[in-house]
Amino acid sequence: MNQEPPAGRGARQAPLPAGAPRVVPVRHPGRWVAAAVLALLGVMLVHSLFFSHVDIGGVRRERFEWSVIDHYLFNPAVMQGVRNTILLTVIAMVGGVVIGVLLAVMRLSPNPIVSGFAWVYIWFFRGTPVLVQLLFWFAAGYLFPTFTIGVPFGPALFHIDLNATLTPMVAASIGLSLNEGAYMSEIVRAGIVSVDEGQLEAAQTLGMSRLKAMRLVVLPQAMRVIIPPTGNETISMLKTTSLASVVTVQELTFAVEQIAAANYKTVPLYIDASIWYLVVTTVMMVGQYYLERYYARGSVRQLPPTPWQQIRSGAFLRPGRGRYGRFPGVIGGEWAPVLAGQDEGVL
């Protein structure tokens, strides 16, 4: 098929015939004004952040205490908090995605008992605050010191000591996973129903069962719709794990709170935490970009460039003018129109 750029773009690069009038591009004075205003605000922000001082009890000191921020940024307790935050985020999201996929397929099942169960699960876990759910799982060790499955009035088949097993980390992992599963199931369901019904029918005419068709045909296509909101959920989860500080999990927020409780440097330490949350979020966004690129296979004619390719070609400096057309770049992240199938015009 036609792989050439659209006519308009090609025409722009065509050499003008001799004697043709010179084309004067439209001027954009508004852009200069906006740039000047933003530059001024930027200077004010930098001044306030790094060069201003404040009087506290007659003592003049740096407003944001960058020396304190710097001192605690790589503090071992803070680093341990970062590790636990990432660990908890990964566990909660993996658990949430697995539960979400199961619930979504159950919700769409023709079996009314199965879909009813999924509905009740989602109703309950979305309908109660995640903080309350975390506190419940934290307290579950006291409510049910032991957990036994067995024949009623008969022998026990399975027995665990919950008081010892439900450490704060385990309780938070369970609570966040179960809660996230309810939200993920709706995202997965949206992805599944977005896939054309003809795909399921085509799979069925090949003799596939409903579950096999889901796994091989529908879900891989649903991924394109599922990933962007899942990235959103992951980044949101990274911050939601700070709630686990309430049940004494040694994650990032808990770590800085403990240091701040001892030295009263509350604001600098919360800035330390924010810096780490931002760093991890940035890494996640890059990961999401590559994941989306992978699942765009077959739905766009030519895969968009990786950020590295964009930097090398300089395309990111010229939005809308790059070799790759209007692809928005990793910062914009606006994959939706590219992925939604109107690719002909975009790429």
Binding interface with other proteins (CB under 8 A): 1, 196, 198-199, 201-210, 212, 216-217, 220-221, 295, 297-301
CB of 341 to other proteins, least distance (A): 9
**Residue among 227 and 243 whose Cβ is closer to other proteins:** 227
**Residue among 212 and 312 whose Cβ is closer to other proteins:** 212
**Residue among 251 and 292 whose Cβ is closer to other proteins:** 292
**Residue among 301 and 318 whose Cβ is closer to other proteins:** 301
**Residue among 2 and 13 whose Cβ is closer to other proteins:** 2
CB of 284 to other proteins, least distance (A): 24
CB of 20 to other proteins, least distance (A): 37
CB of 298 to other proteins, least distance (A): 4
CB of 292 to other proteins, least distance (A): 13
Q: What string of H, E and C letters represents the secondary structure of the chain?
A: CCCCCCHHHHHHHCCCCCCCCCCCCCCCHHHHHHHHHHHHHHHHHHHHHHHCEEEECCEEEECCCHHHHHHHHCCHHHHHHHHHHHHHHHHHHHHHHHHHHHHHHHHCCCCHHHHHHHHHHHHHHHHCCHHHHHHHHHHHHHHCCEEEEECCCCCEEEEEEHHHHCCHHHHHHHHHHHHHHHHHHHHHHHHHHHCCHHHHHHHHHCCCCHHHHHHHHHHHHHHHHHHHHHHHHHHHHHHHHHHHHHHCCCCHHHHHHHHHHHHCCHHHHHHHHHHHHHHHHHHHHHHHHHHHHHHCECCECCCCCCHHHHHHHCHHHCCCCECCECCCHHHHCCCHHHHCCCHHHHC
CB of 198 to other proteins, least distance (A): 4
**Residue among 1 and 18 whose Cβ is closer to other proteins:** 1
